[in-house]
Structure 1
Amino acid sequence: MDPFTAAVLVIGALALLGLPIGLSMISGSIVYLFVRGQDMGLVAERLLNSMFTGYVILAVPLFILAAEIMNMGTMTDRLLRFCNALVGRFRGGLAHVNIVQSIIFSGMSGSALADAAGSGRIIANMMTKDGRYSRSFAAALTASAAVIGPIIPPSIPMVLYALVSGASIGYLFLAGIIPGLLMGLMLMIVVVYMSRRRSFPVEEPVPLRELPGLTVRSFPALMMPVVLLGGIYSGVVTPTEAAAVAAAYALLISALLYRSVSLGTLYAGLVRGARSSIAIGMLIAGALVFNYVVTAENIPQTLRLYLADYNLTPLQFLLLVNIILLLLGAILEGTAILLIIVPVFLPTATALGIDPVHFGVIAVVNIMIGLVTPPYGLLIFVMQSITRAPLRSIFRDLMPFIVTLLAALAIITLFPDLVLWLPRQFGYSG
């Protein structure tokens, strides 16, 4: 049997049997190396040597830790009260608060799942209290809004894309700001329409005289994205160091200023963060080994030459990539797609003159939409476990938001200058 075919069959069989996909990829890659007669020690040494000069991957567990610290303290509650004071007074106010809090929290955690499980859990419970909104609508909106989290910096998926593409993390972070804000604005427009059609409730407005006090109490938490991004773009810290600064800042604010973190809750948060980091780390390890197999088989270049025969324009290629990633996102885990599938398309994108930063934002947006795409969107199941709403009802309420997110993806794809304008203001030459 062909070694690559054997590897793919082993990965598929083990994954179907329930083995984590990271371990499945490692096992399949070992089978490939064994059949090819390659020295596994030399391959391992080559992979490790390629990582000794880069510290990008260290940003992932640090951003996860920062999100855990935020969720264990009162930072989440303070920011939600601030968001409620801003937009809670309008019809469907809590629905607007849901989206605005996702935009604000996206500048802190870098993880859609962290946003949904932390602040998303709180706002979903607020929406369903006393039956003001249906559980399925609260779940659908919270899942859709959480998609914004990894688009606006910091972003764990963009860190992983930088790992496989070599693109600048700083410019990727900048490139995600306008698309993320666009997605949030479009979701709010849909909520305005649905609020009138379904007669959503109007919350009791927070008196304007209380807004300065709420702002002051929330100000240290609101400064976290400023500290994080300001450190990166001023050159004071690298993106990896900025992740460490974010975790330290969240701990200092929660423990010393807000006094909302005890040793017990800190230990529990560290354990949860370690478990999440290990799960992602195993997936990254498996993807790196399997990417070696894919490269050894020369699959990216073969795909590039194959697509060259069709004389695709850059736009046609991007539309094809969007369709493939959206379909895969409905059935596969997003990190695996980002680490395995996206690198296969990179040589073709480069050959067609597609900017790697623009391509990275498109890939991440596709993968995030996959988190809310039936039947296997992970955010759907997270919110279903929180709200206990029937999956069928959640799927129904998700449809308008998925269409909206797809429309935003189309705009991002068709207008690269919209994505690249901000990075160019900071010196990007792409």
Structure 2
Amino acid sequence: MDWQVIIVLFGTFFVFLGLGVPISFSIAISSLLTIMLSLPFDSAIAVISQKMASGLDSFSLLAIPFFILAGNIMNQGGIALRLINFAKVLGGRLPGSLAHVNVLANMMFGSISGSAVASAAAVGGTMSPLQEKEGYDKAYSAAVNITSCPTGLLIPPSNTFIVYSLISGGTSIGALFLAGYIPGLIMGLGLMLVAAIIARKRGYPVSAKPTPKMVLLKTLDALPSLGLIVVIIGGIIGGIFTATEASAIAVVYTLILSFAIYREISLKQLPAIILESVVTTSIVLLLVGASMGMSWAMANAGIPYMVSDALMAVSDNPIIVLLLINLILLVVGIFMDMTPALLIFTPIFLPIALDLGMDPVHFGIMMTFNLCIGICTPPVGSALFVGCSVAKVKIDKVIKPLLPFYAVLILALALVTYVPQVSLLLPQLFLGY
């Protein structure tokens, strides 16, 4: 393997990032320059163009624009407030109840919208003023919101799993969706445990006990929104439709919900929602296509084999190797957003995991969980920036309150990594995986 290739590939990539070049173009240009080391310019252009086009030629990728559109419709459709009210019913009597409501609302809204950033903005924007009014520390409230908004990336439907399925060579999306439930719940419950301990120490208030009538009304109001998850996952498990077909059904469901039931969206708003979805989809798919070119460049240079040999030279013990992979990904997550990190490092680490006898579904959940932590960390964590913005608190003020939540997330990651059944139990039960 030629070290010159590695230096050009990653060196130019990080230089372009440092210069502020968009990450999709940074990936594509660094891949082109790497391919040009072994091929003439015209051939290199042809190769990377072909790889980008073929990388997007996948039926599974159709799910991404549909789920993005469904999420944007629900973001505008008054879903967040209804789920927050339902979360108050579920967690309103726990110590520091508003923090638990924040976590529960993020788990539900994040899974429906499929976006950690949208969840942080919608739920945090509603909860932050309420928590401040009840005497909660603003930095603590922001920390709860920041660390809980990624739970929806594990609880399906999740675009992250669709991207992983493509880059991993066709891992079952249905199995990935089911596998995300227990880790997502573990993440949320772990954060609630930390919130409860802090609430007891600081004496944060407990909300008033809701009346049976209020419980019934708030539950009924939220059920149509939660029904989306039941329809999608139930249909996939029952073999009624594929995950890609489920994404189109999700759009129809959310349109009916927002127009006919909640009546929060008008026809005049629909073009703007569609345009926003098109822009988001374009960004994601350009990133996927560019990353396919980089994956080919890395494979052509033998980089996955080099990394595998290097890790195996340290130890052939699966526990140690997985620990090293997790440490590398945690560092990567500090500097890189989730989707590009997933696209770039899955081709490097998945072959190693398979050699260790690890199931690709289990590895996908572990990697997603790991990178969920990354979007909560400085300096480039998208959830961190949005969470601080909606809470109107500076990033340096929220770092210390984040530390106990980081600790429980790392412990939960270890559980997901070293206990495969945490991820594989539901796919085995419902799909015979």
TM over 0.5: yes
- Using the alignment, how far apart are the partners of 2:7 and 2:291 within structure 1? 17
Q: Is the 8 A contact 2:73 2:258 kept in 1?
A: yes
Q: 1:170 to 1:34 in 2, by over 3 A?
A: same
**1:324-364: per-residue Cα shift (whole Å, max 9, x none)?**
00111111122111000121011111111111111111100
RMSD after superposition = 1.9
Does 1:319 find its partner at 2:319? Answer: no
Q: 1:264 to 1:394 in 2, by over 3 A?
A: farther
Does 1:251 find its partner at 2:251? Answer: no
By how many angstroms is 1:204 displaced? 2.7
Q: Is the 8 A contact 2:96 2:204 kept in 1?
A: yes
Paired residue total: 427
- Using the alignment, how far apart are the partners of 1:8 and 1:303 within structure 2? 14
- Using the alignment, how far apart are the partners of 1:49 and 1:18 within structure 2? 28
Q: What does residue 2 of structure 1 align with? A: 4
Q: What does residue 22 of structure 1 align with? A: 24
By how many angstroms is 1:206 displaced? 2.1
Q: 1:85 to 1:308 in 2, by over 3 A?
A: closer
Q: What does residue 76 of structure 1 align with? A: 80
Does 1:409 find its partner at 2:413? Answer: yes
Q: What does residue 141 of structure 1 align with? A: 144
Q: What does residue 382 of structure 1 align with? A: 386
Q: Is the 8 A contact 1:96 1:188 kept in 2?
A: yes
The 5 Å alignment of 1:181-200 reads: 181-200=185-204
Does 1:368 find its partner at 2:372? Answer: yes
Q: Is the 8 A contact 1:171 1:428 kept in 2?
A: no
Counterpart residue identity of residue 14, structure 1: F
Q: Is the 8 A contact 2:338 2:371 kept in 1?
A: yes
- Using the alignment, how far apart are the partners of 2:182 and 2:214 within structure 1? 30
Counterpart residue identity of residue 333, structure 1: D
| Secondary structure of 2:36 counterpart | helix
Counterpart residue identity of residue 248, structure 1: V
**Greater Cα shift, 186-195 or 301-310:** 301-310
**Greater Cα shift, 61-70 or 290-299:** 61-70
- Using the alignment, how far apart are the partners of 1:108 and 1:91 within structure 2? 27
**1:105-153: per-residue Cα shift (whole Å, max 9, x none)?**
243122211211223322233322x253222111110011112111111
Q: 1:75 to 1:46 in 2, by over 3 A?
A: closer
By how many angstroms is 1:201 displaced? 1.8
Does 1:160 find its partner at 2:157? Answer: no
Between the two proteins, what is the percent identity of the paired residues?
35
Q: 1:289 to 1:49 in 2, by over 3 A?
A: closer
- Using the alignment, how far apart are the partners of 2:315 and 2:64 within structure 1? 38
Q: Is the 8 A contact 1:6 1:28 kept in 2?
A: yes
Does 1:261 find its partner at 2:265? Answer: yes
Q: Is the 8 A contact 2:70 2:250 kept in 1?
A: yes
Counterpart residue identity of residue 410, structure 2: L
**Greater Cα shift, 106-115 or 41-50:** 41-50
By how many angstroms is 1:178 displaced? 0.7
Counterpart residue identity of residue 26, structure 1: A
Q: Is the 8 A contact 2:51 2:289 kept in 1?
A: no
- Using the alignment, how far apart are the partners of 1:229 and 1:42 within structure 2? 38
Does 1:213 find its partner at 2:217? Answer: yes
| Secondary structure of 1:279 counterpart | helix
- Using the alignment, how far apart are the partners of 2:91 and 2:4 within structure 1? 60
- Using the alignment, how far apart are the partners of 1:223 and 1:410 within structure 2? 32
Does 1:173 find its partner at 2:177? Answer: yes
**1:344-403: per-residue Cα shift (whole Å, max 9, x none)?**
011111111111111111100000001112333221111111111121221111111111
Q: What does residue 13 of structure 1 align with? A: 15
Q: What does residue 113 of structure 2 align with? A: 109
Q: 1:404 to 1:139 in 2, by over 3 A?
A: same
- Using the alignment, how far apart are the partners of 1:361 and 1:328 within structure 2? 17
- Using the alignment, how far apart are the partners of 2:64 and 2:108 within structure 1? 19
> TM-score, with normalisation over the residues of structure 1?
0.94
- Using the alignment, how far apart are the partners of 1:326 and 1:87 within structure 2? 31
Q: Is the 8 A contact 1:314 1:354 kept in 2?
A: no
- Using the alignment, how far apart are the partners of 1:316 and 1:401 within structure 2? 24
- Using the alignment, how far apart are the partners of 1:425 and 1:68 within structure 2? 32
Counterpart residue identity of residue 176, structure 1: G
> TM-score, with normalisation over the residues of structure 2?
0.93
Does 1:234 find its partner at 2:246? Answer: no
By how many angstroms is 1:303 displaced? 2.5
By how many angstroms is 1:414 displaced? 1.9
Q: 1:125 to 1:57 in 2, by over 3 A?
A: farther
| Secondary structure of 2:257 counterpart | helix
Q: What does residue 359 of structure 1 align with? A: 363
Q: Is the 8 A contact 2:70 2:113 kept in 1?
A: yes
Structure 1: 5+ residue runs without aligned partners? none
